[in-house]
Structure 1
Amino acid sequence: MNIKDIVNRDIVNLTNCESEPIHIPGSIQPHGFLLAVKAGTSRVEYCSQNTTTYIGLTPEKVLGKSLGEIFSEEDSRAFDLYANSGTIDSAHPFVFTLHDISYNTTVHTSGDNLILELEPFPDGTINLPNLYNQTRKFVSIMEKSAYLTELCQEMATETRSITGYDRVMIYKFDEDYNGEVIAESRREDLVSFAGQKYPHTDIPVQARELYIKNPLRMIADINYVPVPLLTLDDSTTGDGAEKSNQSLDLGMSILRSVSPIHIEYLRNMGVGATLTISLLHNQKLWGLIACHHYSPLVLPYYSRLSALLQGNFLTSQISVREVAEEFDVSQQLDKALVASLTSLHERENFVEQSFQSKSLLDLANATGAVVLHDGILYKNGLVPEDEDILELLHFLGERYPAKSFHTRSLLNVYPKAESVAKYASGVIYHSLSNTDGIMWLRREQVDTISWAGNPDKAVLQNEDGFRLSPRKSFELWMEVVKNKSIPWRKSEINAATSFSYALQKHMNFQLIQKQEDKNRILNEELRTANKELANINWISTHDLKEPLRKIQIFASKVLDREDPDLSVQVKDSVERMRFAAEKMQLLIEDILAYSKAGNMDKVFEKTDLNEILAEALEELQDVIAEKNAVIVSDKLPELDVISFQIRQLFINLLNNAIKFTKPGVEPSIQVKVDMLAGEQIDHEKALRNTEYYRIAFQDNGIGFEEEYKNRIFDVFQRLHPAHKYPGTGIGLAICKKIMENHQGFIFADSEPGEGSVFQIYFPVI
C-alpha cells in the first residue's frame, strides 16, 4: 500500500499572498485528528498522520477501511443515521468512543467527501453550556447598554469570562477593511490595544471570505507542528472511479492548519493561542471577536459554542443599535429640516431672505452652506473665499450635471481641494439647474490614527525577495490624517437631498410664476389684437364687400344705360373703376380664405384624395379647356384630412400651374406620389422616424428664380405684374397654412423657363 500526503507546499510571496490557498493547506492542527470518507460510503479516503496518537492505529490501518473496522459497529451504524439525517447540527456533534475515550466529532461535507474532525474532551466529560443563564445575562447586558460601543464592551468582558482567554477584543472594519479595536477586556498586566487600528493587509481577502463561511476559528498553540493529511497513492478510488483532485477543501474545518504568515504575525505579537469569531452584518464581515491567550489553550468544544453564541447575540444587535443611533441623530436633523422647509414655503424668495438660517446648517450638521442662483452666491456659516467657492461650484456643476455628490475627502475628486480644505474638506453637492447648485460644507477634521505598527511596512524584503510580511513591531505608530472631514451620515445626506429637491421645486415654481406673468401680459395683448382682427374680418365681410358690390352694379348700369351718351374717356374711366372694384373684392375674399384656413375648426376625416382631385378638376374645367391643359395623376392615397381645405389646396396648385405658362405652350401637369422617410427629406420640419406621403405637382410653365423658392409662400408676394398674370399673391400662402394644419409642409423647386415642382408632404399617422 502506497500512501502520500497532500500538503500544499506553495511558496507564499508578494505576488501570490493575496490568493494563498489557505482553504487547502493539506494539514491540520494536532489537538485532534481528521478522517474523510466518501459521501454515501463509510470508506476512509483521507486521514491525518496522527491517528496513532489518538486511537492507536497507524494511517496504513485506517486508510481504505470502513468506520466499522476502526470504531465499533454500533458507533458506525449510529453515525450513518446521524450523517444521513438530512441536516447536521453543529450544536449536537456526534460522539465516537474508543478505549473508553469519547471524541467530540464535528462533521461537514467538502465536495464528495464527508469530513470528520475528532477531538477528545479535555477533561474526559461532556460539559454542556448553560444556555438559559447565558441568554439571561445577555438580555441584562442589552438592557443596560444604550449604545453599540457600550454593548461591545460588555460582550468583550462576558466572552472573556466564558472562555478564559487573557485578552478579548471586539474589532470593527471600516469600508476599506482596516480594523479598529472598539472594545477590550484584558488581564491587568497587559498593555491595552483599545483604539488601535490594524491595516487591511492583516486579513487578506481570501481570509475574510473564510471568516464569512466559517464563523469560528481556533488556534490552540501557535507553535504547533502541522499534521499532514494522507491518502492512498493510487489513481482510482475503491469503487473504480478516478480521483480527479486529491486536495481537500478545509474551508469549514475547525482543525485546519493556519497560514505560516498568520502564525508569524501572532508570534511577533507574543500570542500563544487564539479564538476568532466572525461578526456579520448584511452578509458582510462587520468585525471580529478576537481572543488572545499568551500560552497554549485548547478551548473545549461547548465553550467554543458558548463564545460563538456571544457573537450571534452581538450580531443580532448591530443593525438594531446602529439604526437606533441613526434614529437619534435623524430626529434632530428632521427638526432642522422641517424648520428650513417651513421657511422655504412661507417666503416667496427664500434664498435672498432666509438662506442664512441656522436650521439650514443643522439639517446636515454642516459647518457651512452655499447656493449659486442666477449668478449670485449666497453664503451661510464658515465657507472659503468667494473666488474659491465659485471655482469649486463650477467644477462640480460640470462634473455632476443634474446629479448629486458627497464626499468626506474633497481631495479625492478636486485637484485644488487643499486650498479650501480648512472649511470644505467634506461636501454634499446638489445640482439645481444647468447653472445653479447648492452645497453643504464640513471643515477639515485633523485626525491622529494610532496604528499597531507602521501599515506601510506590511511589505518587506528578505532573502526570498519581497513578500507580505507580518510586522516585527506592534508599537504605536501615529499617522496624522488631513484634508478629511467627519464622515457624512446617511440621514444627513438624505436630509440635504430632501431640502435640495424642495428648493429646486421652489425655484422652478418661481420661474413658472414669472413666465406665467409674462404670458398673461402677452395673452392680453394677443386677445386685444385678435379682437381687432375680428373687427377687421367683420368689416371686410360686410362693410367693405357691400360698397364694392354697389360700385360694380352702378358702374355696370352706367355702361349699359348711358352708353350712347358717354364719351370714350368717361367709358374708359367707369370700366377701370368697375375692374378695380372686382379686383378689390377678389383680394378681400382671398384674405378671408387665408384667415379661415387658420381659424376654422379642424375636422379630420378619412378621405380618398382621388375624389378631391376630381372635384378640383371639375371646378377648374373652364380654365383647363381654355388653356387646353393636360393633367395626369398617379393614384393618390387615402388620408385623414380636412376635405374642403385639401380641395382648396389642389385648386390653388393646379390653377397656378395653368396660369403661369409660356406663351404658345399648352400646360402639361403631372401629379406624382411616393413615400419617403423623414431622414430622406431635406426640410427643417421633417421628423426623424416618421414616414411621409409626397405629392408633387410638376408643370412645364415659366418657372422662377431660386431666390424666390421660400418667399413665394409669404402673403402678398408676387413675382410678375398683375396685368400679365392676374392674382392677389395670397394663394400659395393659403397652401402653406393648409399644410401646417395637417402637420405637413410644402416647398417648391424651379428654374426659369424649365417649369416648377410644388411638393406637399403629409405625415403617415
Structure 2
Amino acid sequence: MTASPASTPAAAQADFLAACEREPIRIPGAIQPHGALILLARPDLRVLQASANFGVVVGPDAEGSCGRPIAELRWGSDTFCRELAQWCEGPEPLYLRSHRLGQQAFTVSAHRSPQGIVVEFEPADDRVPPPAALYPMLRRFLERTERLADVGELSDRVAEQVAGLTGFNRVMVYRFDEDWNGTVIAERGDGVLPTYLDLRFPAFDIPAQARELYRLNRLRLIPTADYQPVPIVPAHCPVDGAPLDMSFAALRSVSPVHLEYMRNMGTVASMSISIVVDDRLWGLISCHHAAERHIDPQLRAACDFLGRLVAQQIDARERAAEDKERLRLKQVETELVTHLARAPTFQSGLVERASHWLGLVNADGAAVITDGIALTAGSTPPIDAILRLAEWMHERRLDQLYATDCLSAQWTEGAAFTDVASGVVAVPISRIHASFIMWFRPEIIRTVTWGGDPAAKVSAETGRLHPRASFASWTEQVRGRSRPWREAERLSAVDFRTAAVDFVLKRAEERAQLTEELQRSNRELEAFSYSISHDLRAPFRHIAGYAELLAEEEPELKHISRHYLKGISHAALSAGQLVDDLLHFSQLGRADLRISRIDMRKVADEVRRSLDLESQERPISWDIGPLPDCWGDPSLVRQALFNLAENAVKYTRKQPETRIRITGIERSADVLYAVEDNGIGFDMAYASKLFQVFQRLHRPEDYEGTGIGLALTRRIVERHGGTIEARGTVGQGATFSFSLPRRPEA
C-alpha cells in the first residue's frame, strides 16, 4: 500500500486506516507457499484455477491441470476423488482428510464458494498425533474449565493448553473492548519473546475488514513472515471473471503490511484462533514464534475446536452474569414502578425514590425532563446544561436508547461536565417534545499501558505508510470516560422507558377523561346559569316597576310603607344587577376571543376617565406608568382592568387621600400589569376567597357590589392564558397583578 505523506500524526493514522480498508485482503491473488490450492467446478470437479506451485507440491503443473477433471490427473484413481465427490453432494461445510497422493502424504481440506470448490493441499506431518488422540485432551480441558466462573482464569487455562499443543514461544488471549482496542488478558510463554500481558493495542492494529475476516474464518496460520507469495493461475476465475475469493482459504496470502507488523514485533511465525461470542468477535488466541513454525491442519482443527469451546464457555459465563444482574435490576424497577403508581405525579415519584431511580442503571445521577423543566437526583450537570443536552438529543430523533461512556466525544459541551457526566444513558418519553429520562456517571481517570506508541509512521523517502515499529510499554492517562454501561443496564433503561411511557399515557387518559367530564359539567352549569339569569331578569324588573307605581299612585301611604317600598325597589334592582353579572359571567365561558394588539396605556386612560366621572365628589390621585402593549380581546381586557381599578376606587373611599397606581413590566413571554391602591386592604389569610363567585371580605352595607367582579376578572385573564394574584395588608392597601401575552402566538 502507498499513500502521500501526511502532515500530522492524526492525518497519517487516518490515511493508514483508509489504505488498509481499501486493501483487497480477501482476493490477494496468491497463497502462502507451504501448500497448494486448486478451484474445481461443479459438478464435474474440473480444475478452473490452481496455484503456480501446484505441480511442485502435488503435480501435475498448474497450467497442465486447468480445464481437466481431477479424476484425469495422475493420482486420479485415489480414493480422494471419490470421497471429495461424495462430500460435494452432502451437507458438511468443510472437508478435512489425510490422503496419499502419489508418493506424498497430504492433509486435504475443501470448502464451497460461489465460484466453485476450493481445495487446499498441505504436506502431512507424521509427528502430529492422530485425531483420535486429540479428543481425550479436549475432553480433559473441558472437564477442568467448565466449573471456572472467572473469564480471566479460563483465558489463562486456554493459553496454557494451546501453548502445550502447538509449541509456540508465546500464546496470548487478546480481548476487544467496545472501541475495538485490544488488551492481553492472559499469556503463556517460554521466555524467548517478551511478555505483553496487560498491554493494550489500538483498534487500527487490526482494521475493520480484517476483524470481519477473523470473525468469518476463525483460524489463520503464517508459518513464516518472510515467504514469497505464490500467484493463482489464471489470475481471474473463468466462472465470473473476478479474482478468486479466498476468505475461507487457510493458505490465503496475507497483507504485506501485516507481515511488516510481524517483523517489527520480532515475530517470524504466527497463528490466530478467533473467539466469536454471539456472532461477534470477542477476542483472539494469538500465537507467536521467533522462528519458522508450521502447524499441521489436523492440529489446527483441534485448536479451532478448542477456541469454539472457550467461546461457548465465555458466552455462558457472560450470559449468566448478565442474567443475574438483569434480575436484580428488574426487582429495582418493580419496586420503583409500584411506588410511581401511588405517587401524585410521575416526576415527583422518581425524586421521592431517588435511590431506586439511580439503581435502575447503577448511576450516580439522574434527571427527568418534561415541559422544559428538569428534576434531578444525585450528581448531575447544571439544570440549564441538562436542558440543552435534552434539546441536542431531541434533534437527533432518538427512538429507544442513547448510551455513551464518553459524552464529550459526541457533544462538545459535555467536556465541561466530565466530573459528573462523562457517561450518559437516556431514553425518550415523548416523540414530540424534548422529554427524557437520563442517568449520569462521572469520569474514571485511568492510566493505560499500550504496547508501544500506537501511531502509524510515514516514510520520509517514499511517502509509504508503515505500521509502528516499537512495542515497548507506552503509558497514557485516559480522561473523559466513565465506567462502560453493561448490556443489562441498557436493557433496564429501555424497559423502564416502556413502563414510564405507559404510566404517562395512563395518567394522560385519566386527565383527558376528567377534563371531558369537567368540560361537560361546565357547559351544563353555564347553560343553567344563563337560563336562570335570563329567566330572573324580567321578574326583578317587574318587582321594581310595581313598587315604583305603587308609591306614585298612593300618595297617602304612611312613611313606613314608603320606606318598605323603597327597600323592595332597591333589593329588586340589586338582584337584577346580580343577575346581569351572572349572565355576563356565564357568557364569558362560551364567547370567542377576538385577539389583536392592545394599547394598554390608552385602555388605562379610558378606565381612569370613566371612574373620575363616577366619583366626582372626591379627588383621586392616579399614577399610570409606562404600560407595554399586549395581545388579547380588547373589550374583555378593558373589562378586567376596569373591574380592578373600580375596586381600588371603591375600597379607598374612606381614606383621606386616594392614590391608585397602574404599572406594567415586559417579561420573556408576557406582560405583567399591576393595580395598586392605598385602601383598606385585606388579610392574606383570606386571599384564596377573593376570586370566587359571591365571596366578599367586607360587609355589603359598607361596600356595595355583587361579589362577581373579581371572579369575572380571573376568568378573563385565564382565558388569555395568563395568571392573576392579589397581595394586601389590612389598612395599608392592596395590589392586584395579572399577566397577558406579549406575542399573538402565546
Mapped pair 1:211 → 2:206:
no
SS at match of 1:465: coil
Mapped pair 1:158 → 2:161:
yes
Aligned 1:51-130 pairs, distance under 5 A: 51=54, 53-54=56-57, 67=70, 68-71=72-75, 73-75=77-79, 78=82, 81-82=85-86, 84-87=88-91, 90=94, 92-93=96-97, 95-99=99-103, 101-110=104-113, 112-123=115-126, 127-130=130-133
Deviation at 1:72, TM superposition (A): 5.5
Partner of 1:253: 249
Aligned 1:664-683 pairs, distance under 5 A: none
Mapped pair 1:291 → 2:268:
no
Moved more, 137-146 or 297-306: 137-146
Partner of 1:278: 274
Identity percentage of aligned residues: 31
Partner of 2:458: 460
Partner of 2:446: 447
CA distance in 2, matches of 1:393, 1:479: 33
Aligned 1:581-660 pairs, distance under 5 A: none
CA distance in 2, matches of 1:42, 1:402: 53
Moved more, 374-383 or 254-263: 374-383
CA distance in 1, matches of 2:400, 2:94: 50
Query: 1:196-241: per-residue Cα shift (whole Å, max 9, x none)?
Result: 332332223433343333222111122223334445x9x9x9xxxx
Q: Is the 8 A contact 2:404 2:424 kept in 1?
A: yes
Relative to structure 1, is the Cα distance of residues 338 and 225 closer, same or farther in structure 2, using a 3 angstrom cutoff?
Answer: same
Query: 1:541-576: per-residue Cα shift (whole Å, max 9, x none)?
Result: xx9xxxxxxxxxxxxxxxxxxxxxxxxxxxxxxxxx
Mapped pair 1:348 → 2:344:
yes
CA distance in 1, matches of 2:509, 2:242: 75
Query: 1:242-270: per-residue Cα shift (whole Å, max 9, x none)?
Result: 78748433332222222211111111111
CA distance in 1, matches of 2:179, 2:77: 53
2:121 partner letter: L
Partner of 1:421: 418
Relative to structure 1, is the Cα distance of residues 57 and 192 closer, same or farther in structure 2, using a 3 angstrom cutoff?
Answer: same
- Which of these two proteins has the greater Rg computed from alpha carbons? 1
Deviation at 1:524, TM superposition (A): 4.8
CA distance in 1, matches of 2:111, 2:22: 24
CA distance in 1, matches of 2:375, 2:461: 63
Partner of 1:326: 322
Partner of 2:474: 477
Corresponding residue to 1:197 among 197, 200, 203: 200
CA distance in 1, matches of 2:86, 2:411: 62
Deviation at 1:295, TM superposition (A): 1.6
CA distance in 2, matches of 1:224, 1:402: 52
Partner of 1:360: 357
Relative to structure 1, is the Cα distance of residues 333 and 113 closer, same or farther in structure 2, using a 3 angstrom cutoff?
Answer: closer
Partner of 1:494: 491
Aligned 1:125-136 pairs, distance under 5 A: 127-130=130-133, 132-136=135-139
Deviation at 1:16, TM superposition (A): 4.4
Relative to structure 1, is the Cα distance of residues 292 and 229 closer, same or farther in structure 2, using a 3 angstrom cutoff?
Answer: same
CA distance in 2, matches of 1:229, 1:402: 50
Corresponding residue to 1:26 among 23, 26, 29: 29
Q: Is the 8 A contact 1:424 1:444 kept in 2?
A: yes
CA distance in 1, matches of 2:513, 2:41: 82
CA distance in 2, matches of 1:373, 1:288: 46
CA distance in 2, matches of 1:505, 1:35: 62
Deviation at 1:383, TM superposition (A): 2.1
Moved more, 184-193 or 301-310: 184-193
SS at match of 2:131: coil
CA distance in 1, matches of 2:401, 2:53: 62
CA distance in 2, matches of 1:404, 1:51: 55
Query: 1:113-144: per-residue Cα shift (whole Å, max 9, x none)?
Result: 54432222222777224454244234324432
Moved more, 149-158 or 501-510: 501-510
Q: Is the 8 A contact 1:20 1:206 kept in 2?
A: no
Deviation at 1:105, TM superposition (A): 1.4
CA distance in 2, matches of 1:294, 1:475: 17
Corresponding residue to 1:304 among 295, 300, 307: 300
Partner of 1:549: none
Q: Is the 8 A contact 1:355 1:380 kept in 2?
A: no
Partner of 1:438: 437
Relative to structure 1, is the Cα distance of residues 96 and 336 closer, same or farther in structure 2, using a 3 angstrom cutoff?
Answer: same
Partner of 1:660: none
Q: Is the 8 A contact 2:173 2:286 kept in 1?
A: yes
Q: Is the 8 A contact 1:226 1:257 kept in 2?
A: yes
CA distance in 2, matches of 1:228, 1:512: 72
Q: Is the 8 A contact 1:108 1:114 kept in 2?
A: yes
Aligned 1:514-533 pairs, distance under 5 A: 523-524=520-521, 526-528=523-525, 530=527
Deviation at 1:442, TM superposition (A): 0.9
1:493 partner letter: R
Query: 1:461-508: per-residue Cα shift (whole Å, max 9, x none)?
Result: 3433243x2211112222333222222223223333444454555566
1:309 partner letter: F
Deviation at 1:420, TM superposition (A): 1.5
Deviation at 1:362, TM superposition (A): 1.2
Q: Is the 8 A contact 1:36 1:45 kept in 2?
A: yes
Q: Is the 8 A contact 2:429 2:435 kept in 1?
A: yes
Partner of 2:647: none
CA distance in 1, matches of 2:474, 2:163: 27
Deviation at 1:292, TM superposition (A): 1.4
Q: Is the 8 A contact 1:141 1:151 kept in 2?
A: no
Relative to structure 1, is the Cα distance of residues 388 and 306 closer, same or farther in structure 2, using a 3 angstrom cutoff?
Answer: same
Query: 1:373-414: per-residue Cα shift (whole Å, max 9, x none)?
Result: 566653321223444444444554566588753332222343
Query: 1:316-345: per-residue Cα shift (whole Å, max 9, x none)?
Result: 334432221212222332232233223222
Superposed CA RMSD in Å reads 4.0
SS at match of 1:383: coil
Mapped pair 1:168 → 2:171:
yes
Relative to structure 1, is the Cα distance of residues 341 and 46 closer, same or farther in structure 2, using a 3 angstrom cutoff?
Answer: closer
Mapped pair 1:139 → 2:137:
no
1:103 partner letter: F
Aligned 1:361-380 pairs, distance under 5 A: 361-372=358-369, 377-380=374-377
Relative to structure 1, is the Cα distance of residues 522 and 156 closer, same or farther in structure 2, using a 3 angstrom cutoff?
Answer: same
Q: Which runs of 5+ in 2 are unaligned?
A: 5-15, 540-746
SS at match of 1:146: coil
CA distance in 2, matches of 1:340, 1:167: 51
Equivalences, count: 525
Give the alignment's TM-score, normalised by structure 2. Answer: 0.61
SS at match of 1:194: coil
CA distance in 2, matches of 1:337, 1:196: 39
Deviation at 1:309, TM superposition (A): 0.2
Query: 1:687-738: per-residue Cα shift (whole Å, max 9, x none)?
Result: xxxxxxxxxxxxxxxxxxxxxxxxxxxxxxxxxxxxxxxxxxxxxxxxxxxx
Give the alignment's TM-score, normalised by structure 1. Answer: 0.60
2:200 partner letter: K
Moved more, 20-29 or 51-60: 51-60
CA distance in 2, matches of 1:60, 1:504: 70
Q: Is the 8 A contact 1:169 1:291 kept in 2?
A: yes
Relative to structure 1, is the Cα distance of residues 395 and 60 closer, same or farther in structure 2, using a 3 angstrom cutoff?
Answer: closer
